Each structure stands twice: as structure tokens, then as C-alpha cells.
């Protein structure tokens, strides 16, 4: 029986708008920034067979070239797939054209705390989940609080009382952007990075912290430093 291979798809691009130069500017004590941090994490993985750096950013590609790991493939991405107006669907459809791996883990440099150990655990869970009837996996944060719609109505209260205990509210889940894992078949046939029945992989909020704004960058540096100084990060 042939081994089921898994590729890590790591997209970056030039021209970050909300957080300037977020991919390559110094991050915490990492000289090569978020890009260098993520590559150094990925090369420690035992379960990832291919690391695809998909970018139009020369600095990102230069950083990836520093790591002499045969699993790293640098794929210069077409410019039409690198703009702020790029349709995510087009990028999703592009991914299976640049890898022959059986399964694809889509991740980001902007989740700097999650490392090889967490990725490997999630990959193992993904393959178990496939046997249990799921068809994909996505990293999520569990939401157990009063959530309102734009009309001010609580959307996750399924009880007949206006203010139930928070543990009695319907649990909802927020995608944390750490990982989307699916087979290349799902990419090709459904044109999606998740299937119809994804396993919701609940994660620790610190480990899954995602950088979206400038303040997030600073908070992530503090989390990184705290975990490293306390032996919580390898």
C-alpha cells in the first residue's frame, strides 16, 4: 500500500495592507520574521512530505531558500493570484496544479505560535477522522458566550429563557486560520479546501493566535516570547 502523502501549502504575497511588511520584518527574536519562523517550524515536522512556498515576494522566496530541506519547493505564483482583489476560489483551484500529494494542509505564516508538534498531531487526527466518516479538518476556536446578530438578538440561545447559563448556549466555532486539511480530490472535484463534513479541530487560543492587524503582530510577539521563555515553545 502506497503512503498517503501530505503537502503543506504556504501562501504569501507582496503588498500587505493592514500589517506592513508582515511576512519578513523582524518578529520577536526571529531575524527573518514570520516567514523564517514558519519555515523553521515546518522543517521539524515528521508528517509533512512537501512544503510548498507559493509567493510573488522575492524576500519570502529568498528566506525559504536558506533552509536546505529537500521537502521545500518554491513556486513563484502568477501575479493575478497575488492581488488584494484575487478571488480565493481561483487560488484554491490553483493549488492541486502544483502538487501531486494526496492531501493538502493549507496554513499561514500569520499563525506564528503553532509549530511542528501541533501540525503533526492535527495530521494524525485528520487521518483518524477520515476513518470516522469525516472528509476534511479545520482548526477552530470554540465560542461559548452570548453572540449577537446585527439586530442585537442572541443567535446561539436555543433555550426558552432570555439569559441562560453560558454552558447552556449552543456552542459555535470560529475558524482560526491555522490549518485546512483536505484531499486533493476535494480540491479538484469540489473546488474547495474543505469537504462537506469537516472535523472541527478545537485548539488552544494561544497556540492558534492569528495576526490580522498591527496590534495582533505586537501581541503575537509577546505570546511568542512568553512561551519561549517558559519552555512552552520549541
CATH of the domain at 70: 3.90.550.10
- The DSSP secondary structure of 63-87, one letter per residue, reads HHHTS--TTEEEEEPPGGGSSTT--
pLDDT at 10: 98
pLDDT (0 to 100) of residue 234: 58
Inside any domain, residue 1: no
| pLDDT at residue 157, as a whole number | 95
Number of structural domains in the chain: 1
CB neighbour burial string for 151-172, b if at least 16 within 10 angstroms, e if fewer: eeebebbeeeeeebeeeebeee
Asked if the structure places residue 120 within a domain, the reply is: yes
CA pair distance 87, 110, nearest whole angstrom: 20
* Structural domain includes residue 143: yes
Asked whether 7 and 99 are in contact (CB, 8 A), the reply is yes
pLDDT for position 20: 83
Name the burial class of residue 81, with classes exposed (0-12), middle (13-18) and buried (19+) by CB atoms within 10 angstroms of its CB. Answer: middle
Q: Does residue 110 belong to any structural domain of this protein?
A: yes
Give the contacts of 132 (CB within 8 A, at least 6 positions apart).
Answer: 199
For residues 50 and 134, what is the distance between their CA atoms, to the nearest angstrom?
23
For residue 234, is it within any domain?
no
- For residue 202, the SS3 value is strand
Residue ranges in the chain modelled with pLDDT below 70: 1-2, 233-234
In a domain, 130, yes or no: yes
pLDDT given at position 16: 77
Which structural domain, as residue segments, surrounds residue 84? 6-229
Domain assignment of residue 201, yes or no: yes
**pLDDT of amino acid 1:** 55
Amino acid at each position: 500500500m502506497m503512503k498517503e502523502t501530505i503537502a503543506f501549502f504556504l501562501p504569501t504575497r507582496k503588498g500587505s495592507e493592514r500589517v506592513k511588511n508582515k511576512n519578513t520584518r523582524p518578529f520577536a527574536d526571529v531575524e527573518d520574521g514570520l516567514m523564517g519562523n514558519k519555515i523553521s517550524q515546518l522543517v521539524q515536522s515528521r508528517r509533512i512530505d512537501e512544503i510548498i512556498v507559493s509567493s510573488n515576494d522575492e524576500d519570502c522566496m529568498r528566506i525559504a531558500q536558506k533552509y536546505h530541506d529537500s521537502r521545500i519547493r518554491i513556486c513563484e505564483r502568477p501575479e493575478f493570484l497575488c492581488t488584494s482583489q484575487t478571488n480565493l476560489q481561483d487560488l484554491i483551484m490553483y493549488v492541486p496544479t502544483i502538487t501531486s500529494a494526496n492531501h493538502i494542509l493549507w496554513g499561514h505564516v500569520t499563525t506564528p505560535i503553532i509549530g511542528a508538534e501541533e501540525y503533526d498531531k492535527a495530521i494524525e487526527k485528520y487521518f483518524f477522522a477520515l476513518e470516522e466518516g469525516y472528509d476534511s479538518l479545520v482548526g477552530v476556536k470554540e465560542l461559548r458566550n452570548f453572540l449577537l446578530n446585527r439586530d442585537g438578538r442572541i443567535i446561539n440561545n436555543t433555550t426558552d429563557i432570555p439569559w441562560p447559563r453560558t454552558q447552556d448556549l449552543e456552542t459555535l466555532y470560529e475558524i482560526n486560520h491555522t490549518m485546512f486539511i483536505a484531499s486533493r480530490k476535494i480540491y479538484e472535484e469540489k473546488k474547495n479546501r474543505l469537504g462537506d463534513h469537516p472535523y472541527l479541530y478545537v485548539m488552544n487560543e494561544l497556540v492558534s493566535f492569528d495576526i490580522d492587524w498591527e496590534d495582533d503582530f505586537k501581541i503575537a510577539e509577546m505570546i511568542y516570547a512568553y512561551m519561549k521563555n517558559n519552555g512552552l515553545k520549541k
